[in-house]
């Protein structure tokens, strides 16, 4: 379990006298697979007070990958600013992003740089980029770090807008992919990973902070898989390979594995992100 402040993540406001009024600081909390435990862990490592201002709340601002890491926002507020402003001006939306790499298991190399064989032995067989082929012909593959792009949008909404139906739309559309262009991302590139929300105060007129969480993968064309060319693969489609066996051209011939078929599977449903209820779209 760990709590680490995200570099350059502090947002502060001060008054004309230089007195700190509010501060929001982002942390990464590791070691939990549920939000309640993540918040409990966060409380053990978050500074309190901060520059003489007490911690007033913490909240989950998104999940990072699937390995038990959460982005948590700690809010500090000077006592002089903690007056509720019913029906006031809605604050502007806030955005953040994270490109910490993820992990994926692959069975095909980008390319085979070289191969070597024992002195006096026949040359190493050409498996057409299949990785880690064992003596039984199984393609075991390898795990690699892969680019990842997570981004988060925090919107402030009046209590009257955060209805049961609104929350239900967020829940039902979690794990769906954009069917039209969203934030410059082409259809198929953006996955909605759910949302979180909490109300700033106790009054029915207090604003809600709703955070929408997304992850993006680029669409690809002309993907090489051995001697196969996959014409198109949308970002969140799943590409998998079936391997065949054949003798190579050596004497005597060796049996090699090679990509024989490639399949592109849609594993997420499409939805228009306008149905999420994000203000302004």
* Residues 4 and 128 occupy one common structural domain: no
Q: Please state, in angstroms and as integers, the Cα–Cα distance from residue 6 to each residue in 11, 24, 71, 97, 235, following that order.
A: 12, 11, 9, 11, 28
Instruction: Examine residue 69 and state whether it is found in any structural domain, yes or no.
Output: yes
* Residues 11 and 66 occupy one common structural domain: yes
The one-character DSSP state at 8 is T
pLDDT, tens digit, 9 for 90 and up, residues 219-246 = 999 999 999 999 999 999 999 999 998 9
Q: What mean pLDDT, rounded, does the chain reach?
A: 87
* Pairwise CA distance, residues 27 & 2, whole Å: 10
Q: What is the pTM of this model?
A: 0.64
Q: Does position 190 have pLDDT exceeding 70, yes or no? A: yes
The one-character DSSP state at 127 is -
Instruction: Examine residue 194 and state whether it is found in any structural domain, yes or no.
Output: no
* Pairwise CA distance, residues 143 & 141, whole Å: 7
User: For the chain, what percent of residues have pLDDT higher than 90?
Assistant: 43
Look up the domain containing 27 and give its range: 1-81
pLDDT, tens digit, 9 for 90 and up, residues 67-115 = 778 888 898 888 765 544 445 567 788 999 999 887 889 998 988 899 8
* Residues 136 and 240 occupy one common structural domain: yes
* Residues 13 and 75 occupy one common structural domain: yes
* Pairwise CA distance, residues 121 & 134, whole Å: 18
pLDDT of residue 211: 95
The size of the chain, in residues, is 281
* Residues 229 and 136 occupy one common structural domain: yes
Residue 16, classed as helix, strand or coil, is: coil
Structural domain count of the chain:
2
Q: Which two tokens stand for residue 157?
A: 């909404």
């Amino acid at each position: 379990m760990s709590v680490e402040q995200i570099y350059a993540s502090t947002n502060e406001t001060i008054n004309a006298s230089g007195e700190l009024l509010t501060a929001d600081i982002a942390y990464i909390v590791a070691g939990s697979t549920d939000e309640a435990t993540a918040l409990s862990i966060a409380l053990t490592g978050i500074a309190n007070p901060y520059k003489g201002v007490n911690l007033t709340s913490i909240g989950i601002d998104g999940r990072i990958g699937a390995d038990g890491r959460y982005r948590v926002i700690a809010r500090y507020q000077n006592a002089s600013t903690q007056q509720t402003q019913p029906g006031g001006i809605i604050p502007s939306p806030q955005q953040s992003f994270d490109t910490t790499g993820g992990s994926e298991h692959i069975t095909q190399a980008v390319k085979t740089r070289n191969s070597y064989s024992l002195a006096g032995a026949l040359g190493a067989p050409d498996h057409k980029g299949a990785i880690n082929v064992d003596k039984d012909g199984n393609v075991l593959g390898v795990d690699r770090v892969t680019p990842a792009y997570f981004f988060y949008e925090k919107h402030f909404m009046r209590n009257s807008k955060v209805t049961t139906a609104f929350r239900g739309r967020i829940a039902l559309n979690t794990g769906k992919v954009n069917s039209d262009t969203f934030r410059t991302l082409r259809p198929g590139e953006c996955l909605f990973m759910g949302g979180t929300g909490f109300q700033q105060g106790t009054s029915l007129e207090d604003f809600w902070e709703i955070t929408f969480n997304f992850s993006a993968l680029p669409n690809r064309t002309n993907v090489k898989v051995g001697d196969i060319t996959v014409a198109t693969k949308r970002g969140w489609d799943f590409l998998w390979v079936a391997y065949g066996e054949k003798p190579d051209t050596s004497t005597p011939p060796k049996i090699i594995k090679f990509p024989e078929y490639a399949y592109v599977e849609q594993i997420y449903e499409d939805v228009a992100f306008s149905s999420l209820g994000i203000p302004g779209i």
